[in-house]
Structure 1
């Protein structure tokens, strides 16, 4: 069920305190299971998940802020210095002494002496927090590094191990609150498709469509847009996975992917349209893509596996490729939460390594069918429920929609 996107004193909507506690508990359960003392997080999505804080997209790739989650107790947030006071005011769920100035090295852009000192300070800060949590002698997970912090960690005396599995395994099962945010994000994209379907017509460029979608999403409650794909006409087969400034022409297929985030939680949501008219071949290609995605949805239930789902799709050879690696990304599924691609990943390429589906998982299933200069793409977002599944992407896709018909 979706409710309003603002807080309300007359409806119980999202219990954020409950959600924050759930996420930290999930991480700490994985730390205990995988015998780690803490995990050090540099990935921005992991930092948001663990600390329930964020900074603007400008900071995403600069190693500007990071977080430590110990096996017990509250997370530590190392924040851009001038933002620490703001976090103390606006993020009271983190103890004030756990929000500390970071020492960013800006991927080395600050110069040799500066980044050398910054990396040394970062290592010292990490070790101090680990000692205060009583876990400095245990294995310490790290999710991602650049070459500068990697060199610093090598000589730190810490037992550094891969921390990504802790985070992926923590994030794979969503709480009811997370699922409510995800469904609200999908409802925003539903509305965006109504808006954009009225703007798809000859003479409009792919980039115009992308710009319109960005503006609509941000003005209707999204706080981040990972990206938007818009692919038209002969660019639609083979699938380029991006947009251009190409102008849409009459009689062409156009497919669009909306990757917007509401309060951190994302969508990945393809729909295909025809412009002015649809040929029989276009309708046939679309019907195949639709039938394939529907078959995969029907395979989703607790206890089924990712291999069961992937086996409903055509093989690489049936799609015209020599092997599954070459066909990767056409018929595929992927978890969605604060990141657009999370566990589980569903593909024939990984059929030898199945994941059992559990209630609380959320993922997208997407298919593609192309021939000549036409390609059709459909994607649905699915929640695994106690008894089966729930499709949360509601823009109609049973038939190929013709925009600006003539």
Structure 2
């Protein structure tokens, strides 16, 4: 599906390209090569399909950006928001060498170029062959500083995505029942994600009983039993490309007393972390807020992942809320706060909200309750 010219950030695209060029120059990068993915969509609004044929936005530190596409894809590129930008869209034929085409348009002897972090290896090798002697770096090092600070329009898009995934969590009781398999429940949830306003289903995790102790379990044919705690982590992409991601943990009937104790520790930690979001707190300090509570309760060895990840056009992007990151939070940064406690072979629990750092503190974009929901068994 092509992006609408009214997508969040569309009016900002010329400024994004200008800032990207300036950032590349400041980093000493002669040109950035951006192939299909979130970086291309961020800079041009073009949601190009990854193909063996090259599609590439070239952002030189000096000179004008241009977009190189296969000739058969040129009408689609021109119909996308990229077509409304003041950049040249260059089509190439089946027998043309797109890499040489790009190399000829760059200043001779450019010492450094940067490629997007998800560029296919075969394309990187082709660029290296076309630009012998040039050094390669990652464009993500240049662009992440731009992408992680969301504009008001982007925050509004994330807020809409968060409200849509909240709708799904509010209906979990209709599907999560004893005797059903995780896979059956996940199928209903996936349908509901689309019905709630998403264009794509990115993931559905239904981890029941001991499967909940695996953070990325996804689904299986395990039959849900009375008393099972169940971790449900779901997310999708809206038509404008912005993502949702929210986790709630449920119990099908009364869970074990040990689980209730664990869950209360987790709820206290996650609430303290979301309340602690403010400009200036570092990523590692925010991680420690919840981790210290969980550790003091004796579960420190069972919180086995970082507190959170940035979110926007990708479900996982900068900033990462993790020990060792001294990055101070700034207004506009959007990220998950999702501590978890996992007892292998027994059960696990996770609570996840998307939070935006504002001048006043943190704004939760997921507004369903964080108390344990006990469903009929």
TM range (shorter): 0.7 to 0.9
Structure 2 residue 277 is the aligned partner of structure 1 residue 305 = no
Q: Distance in 1 between matches of 2:51 and 2:262?
A: 39
User: Shift of residue 216 of structure 1?
Assistant: 2.1
Point out where structure 1 has 5 or more consecutive residues left out of the alignment. 1-6, 8-12, 104-116
Alignment length, in residue pairs?
365
**Structure 2 partner of 1:368:** 340
The C-alpha deviation readout for 1:221-276, integer Å capped at 9, x for no partner, is: 32233212111111112434422222211110111111211211112211111112
Q: Distance in 1 between matches of 2:92 and 2:241?
A: 23
Q: Distance in 2 between matches of 1:126 and 1:214?
A: 42
Structure 2 residue 208 is the aligned partner of structure 1 residue 232 = yes
The C-alpha deviation readout for 1:343-378, integer Å capped at 9, x for no partner, is: 111122xx2x41011101000010112346121110
**Structure 2 partner of 1:149:** 123
**Structure 1 partner of 2:89:** 98
Aligned pairs (5 A) from 1:373-384: 373-384=346-357
**Any idea what SS the aligned residue of 1:191 has?**
helix
Structure 2 residue 185 is the aligned partner of structure 1 residue 214 = no
Contact 1:40–1:66 (8 Å) recurs in 2 = yes
Contact 1:303–1:358 (8 Å) recurs in 2 = yes
Structure 2 residue 314 is the aligned partner of structure 1 residue 339 = yes
Point out where structure 2 has 5 or more consecutive residues left out of the alignment. none
Give the 3 Å change call, closer, same or farther, for CA 53–169 of structure 1 in structure 2: same
Please identify runs of 4+ aligned residues in structure 1 that moved more than 6 A: none
Give the 3 Å change call, closer, same or farther, for CA 207–27 of structure 1 in structure 2: farther
Q: Distance in 1 between matches of 2:192 and 2:90?
A: 35
Contact 2:334–2:356 (8 Å) recurs in 1 = yes
Q: Distance in 2 between matches of 1:332 and 1:136?
A: 44
Q: Distance in 2 between matches of 1:272 and 1:62?
A: 41
The match for 2:256 among 262, 279, 283 is 279
Q: Distance in 2 between matches of 1:15 and 1:162?
A: 26
Give the 3 Å change call, closer, same or farther, for CA 369–83 of structure 1 in structure 2: same
Q: Distance in 1 between matches of 2:104 and 2:193?
A: 42
Give the 3 Å change call, closer, same or farther, for CA 355–204 of structure 1 in structure 2: same
The C-alpha deviation readout for 1:303-362, integer Å capped at 9, x for no partner, is: 1111210111336975464xxxx9642x421110111111111122xx2x4101110100
User: Shift of residue 211 of structure 1?
Assistant: 1.9
**Alpha-carbon RMSD:** 2.9
Q: Distance in 1 between matches of 2:225 and 2:15?
A: 49
Deviates more, 1:203-212 or 1:92-101: 92-101
**Any idea what SS the aligned residue of 1:312 has?**
helix
**Any idea what SS the aligned residue of 1:98 has?**
strand
Q: Distance in 1 between matches of 2:51 and 2:185?
A: 27
**Any idea what SS the aligned residue of 1:313 has?**
helix
The match for 2:368 among 395, 399, 403 is 395
Deviates more, 1:144-153 or 1:196-205: 144-153
Contact 2:303–2:340 (8 Å) recurs in 1 = no
Q: Distance in 1 between matches of 2:51 and 2:309?
A: 23
Q: Distance in 2 between matches of 1:313 and 1:72?
A: 46
Deviates more, 1:89-98 or 1:244-253: 89-98
Aligned pairs (5 A) from 1:246-261: 246-261=222-237
**Any idea what SS the aligned residue of 1:229 has?**
strand
Give the 3 Å change call, closer, same or farther, for CA 153–261 of structure 1 in structure 2: same
User: Shift of residue 72 of structure 1?
Assistant: 6.1
The C-alpha deviation readout for 1:129-174, integer Å capped at 9, x for no partner, is: 435xxx9736321124444333333332344333220121121111
Give the 3 Å change call, closer, same or farther, for CA 53–253 of structure 1 in structure 2: same
Contact 1:88–1:96 (8 Å) recurs in 2 = no
**Structure 2 partner of 1:107:** none
Q: Distance in 2 between matches of 1:308 and 1:242?
A: 30
